[in-house]
Structure 1
């Protein structure tokens, strides 16, 4: 493909401290900081918003809309950036982010909040892919590790401060103030970044028409995203209308295997199993992250600030476990670390179930979030390393895309199944806590399947340990997991 670097070749040798690099790097860092802050700050207040809008039964739809839309946003943003440079999709994504935060802040119904979260997921998918593409197009290879490290570091403070600050603001003022505040804070760096990218040296020339990448399956990705959203709505009730929506969503999700490597659903050895395990692990973690706070707020009446602290602790423990697997356990076989991480997540599921029992302290369920984060910190980076080792030459991007796609599908599917179990229990007259206990109990299935199939993801390549040493710790949150 023709060279479409966003920065002049001679400017690439000036390093990160030229004026153009300083402006773009600082603006991108500010965008990533606020993206992380928004992603981690919004999640703890969503249960409170759903309760105030009389939409607790539709909470799975609100939580799942972001993930469903980010799948489409990633495909759209990546294709747009490949064909015409990262400037336009990044600017469009940032503008949409500000608008969607205002839409969510002014919600008068659970449906408006769900719509805002869907558009926010679309924007988040575009922004994440566009920033990574911009780094690849704008910076020389020797500078990319430093820039990527800076982008990762931008999530540290949000993971520590975002959830408790959002909890305090929602307790003392309103959950709407969190959305409005994030919109105001995001507006200025978004404008600065758009202006910086309008500089002539950052204009990405479009590739010749005969050298452009083939069109991605945007229609297919749209169908899968719509199916995911319909499925989340369908499992929120048990009348005929909801069942029809669930059936339609399931039919559209049947197209999802075409976005994944052949053999994913039958756990074929190598990359297909690695992709499958990423979906199972992400689905389990996302469901714990969504349902534990909802239960603690709606049934145990725990303060939102405590939920925020649980999210903060999860972020810290995820990062710590990632550091351990990348430094202290770097010589261990990756598939074994995947199995160990899944066993830790099985313990987290047990804590979540125990937290629904009468007489058991509410903080028992909250601790499930912390333990699950440790498991994901061991498991997720190891799966990323395995996916790279299984990638055909020159197809690392395809492997990364498949991992991201099934991560989103796993989150949507496992959350939908758990929601269906919860609503089925409520439909037969069980108590709310009993329903949550059954929903959490379902999560034993994916964690034990990961333990069972981890060996099928084993890598025989010699470069796995070297790749592991270069792997970066993962960060938590609805848009980054």
Structure 2
């Protein structure tokens, strides 16, 4: 473990700050949409954060490999804080979306640099425990964030949900920055293979065009969708690890498994609170659904780090993908009104959260194990770009269904269709994960 415990504390506090923002905003967004109007832009409130992260992660990966993680983290920190201020002051949905874009640029730099710090500052045997701590930092806001966000939104204003993030961010930076300054570099030269920033920009534009096409649903949308898919076809492969193949094992399947698993889960997470609110639940109850699911996520992350879990890392990822698919299938039954009430989607989403805890930590660890030190920034960037790509595409697809069915369909049809689509993509992730190939579990006691 690193000698500088303040840096470790700062690492966790920064994860806590980003996690609190994510969990709290999930709960507050139905109130923000009700206040600002433009409900048809609801999906953009989430993809506006995801899409710019693709570009930010590419830039941060290059910086981490050439200059160390300090510049990427510092720039990301400033942008994330500025985005929070813009969103907190937003008088319209359009301004809120601008703030979310700036937040996304900052979050991409923060998240990528923190993963690189983990890979460089911790021994392989310790990284699984660090991932468990990360999950704990995601879980704590899941308990407090929805409650705080619901109280602030109902008693003051949803604007205060954004303001409440800044103290966590400031405290984490105060602890982490001194340690980052002292963190040894690993011979960064600037001559390595990096994720091309222009390719990341092309992919981000492509995803945005596809979502525009899905949201507008007019004849011109065919052109936007075609241009978007062409952009993805041209540039997406450039963002992946060297030697990437859609049918390849190792890093290729690891990145793809993360892309589809995370995208399926996050697409459902974006719409689950709205579904519950539209069915008459309070913001507090809707937030509780995210809280319970995060307990499952924490349990999965804890489980993957246990030395008595005698599964290889690739098998843990497969198990995680299976749990996500099974959980979303249960959500589909509840969302479509086939069985149960509100408790059934919550229970299913908790199982999906368990799968995410298993798969997210393990995919990060596999990339660390399979990457040479000088390519860790590049490959970690590819992993996170893949995750953001999946999140944006599948949340956008869910938003398309919402735009198409929501105005005239029942909540059962609308949200049942969304959950069904995401269940199908999660099943695809199971097949992809099964192709990774054997990867040793350093945490297992054999």
TM-score, normalization: structure 2? 0.84
Instruction: Report how far residue 316 of structure 1 moved.
Output: 1.9
**59-68 or 48-57: bigger deviation:** 48-57
2:202 is the alignment partner of 1:223: yes
Moved more, 25-34 or 235-244: 25-34
Matching residue of 1:258: 238
Displacement of 1:281:
0.6
Q: 1:361-386: per-residue Cα shift (whole Å, max 9, x none)?
A: 22322333212101222333344454
Paired residue for 2:38? 55
Give the gaps of 5 or more residues in structure 2: none
Choose 150-159 or 300-309, whichever is displaced more: 150-159
Structure 1 residues 174 and 134 mapped into 2: Cα distance closer, same or farther (>3 Å)? same
Are 2:320 and 1:341 aligned?
A: yes
Secondary structure of 1:371's match? Answer: helix
- Superposition pairs of residues 447-466 of structure 1, within 5 angstroms: 447-459=426-438, 464-466=440-442
Partner in structure 2 of residue 410 of structure 1: 390
Residues 16-27 of structure 1: pairs in structure 2 closer than 5 A: 16=4, 22=6, 27=10
Deviation at 1:170, TM superposition (A): 1.4
Specify the alignment match of 1:282 in structure 2: 262
Task: Determine if contact 2:61/2:377 at 8 Å carries over to the other structure.
Answer: no
Tell me by how many angstroms 1:394 deviates.
6.2
- State which structure, 1 or 2, has the greater radius of gyration over its C-alpha atoms: 1
Match of 1:166 among 141, 146, 149: 149
Check whether the contact 2:306–2:443 (CA below 8 A) recurs between aligned residues.
no
CA distance in 1, matches of 2:10, 2:359: 32
- Alignment of 1:378 with 2:366, yes or no, is no
Kindly report which structure 2 residues correspond to 1:7-18, keeping only aligned pairs within 5 A, or say none. 15-16=3-4
What secondary structure is seen at the aligned counterpart in 1 of 2:42?
helix
Deviation at 1:214, TM superposition (A): 5.7
Work out whether 1:175 is the aligned partner of 2:158: yes
Deviation of residue 409 (structure 1)? 1.2
| Cα distance, 1:365–1:55 mapped onto 2, change above 3 Å | farther
Q: Any idea what the Cα deviations from partners look like across 1:6-57, whole Å, max 9, x if unmatched?
A: xxxxxx99x437xxxx4x5555554343233223222221232223222222
Question: How big is the shift at 1:156?
Answer: 4.7
Tell me the equivalent position of 2:416: 437
Q: Check if 1:121 corresponds to 2:104.
A: yes
**Aligned position for 2:348:** 368
Aligned match of 2:329: 350
Q: Distance in 2 between matches of 1:105 and 1:296?
A: 24
Higher relative contact order (CA 8 A, sep 6+): 2
Task: Give the paired residue count.
Answer: 443
> 1:103: Cα distance to partner?
0.9
Change (3 A) 1:267 1:97: same
- What's 1:420 paired with? 400
SS at match of 2:255: helix
Note the C-alpha offset of 1:328: 6.6
Contact 1:343/1:451 (8 A) holds in 2: yes
CA contact (8 A) 2:128 2:305 kept: no
Q: CA RMSD in A?
A: 3.7
1:108 corresponds to which of 80, 91, 104: 91
Task: Give the structure-1-normalised TM-score.
Answer: 0.79
Equivalent residue for 1:324, pick from 298, 303, 325 = 303
Instruction: State the shift of 1:467 in Å.
Output: 5.4
Which residue number in structure 2 is paired with residue 314 of structure 1? 293
Residue 442 of structure 1 aligns to a residue whose secondary structure is helix
CA–CA distance in structure 2, aligned partners of residues 215 and 393 of structure 1: 13
The 1-side partners of 2:341 and 2:122 are apart by: 54
